[in-house]
Amino acid sequence: MFIKIRRDTLIILLLAFILILCGRLITYVAYASSDEVTDGVPISGIIVKGNDVVPVDIIRSNVMQSGLRDGSVIHGDILKTSKKEISLQDAIQTAQEFAKRSTVPGTSVAPISAADVQVDKNTGIVTVTVIEDFSSVELKNTTNQG
Spell out the domain ranges in the chain: 1-34, 41-136
> Is residue 53 helix, strand or coil?
coil
The pLDDT confidence band at residue 142, using thresholds 50, 70 and 90, is low
Q: 17 vs 5, 13, 20, 31, 72, CA distance in Å?
A: 16, 6, 5, 21, 43
Q: Across the chain, which distance is largest between two alpha carbons, in Å?
A: 102
Of the candidates 84, 116, 52, 68, the one whose C-alpha atom is nearest the C-alpha of residue 60 is 68
pLDDT in tens, 48-58: 999 888 999 99
What number is the average pLDDT over the span 53-72? Answer: 92
Residues 6+ apart with CB under 8 A from 69: 43, 46, 81
Judge whether 76 and 102 are in contact, CB under 8 Å.
no
The pLDDT confidence band at residue 38, using thresholds 50, 70 and 90, is low
Q: 95 vs 12, 14, 47, 76, 91, CA distance in Å?
A: 61, 60, 13, 18, 6
Query: Which of the following CATH numbers is that of domain 41-136: 3.10.20, 3.40.50, 1.10.287, 3.30.450?
Result: 3.10.20
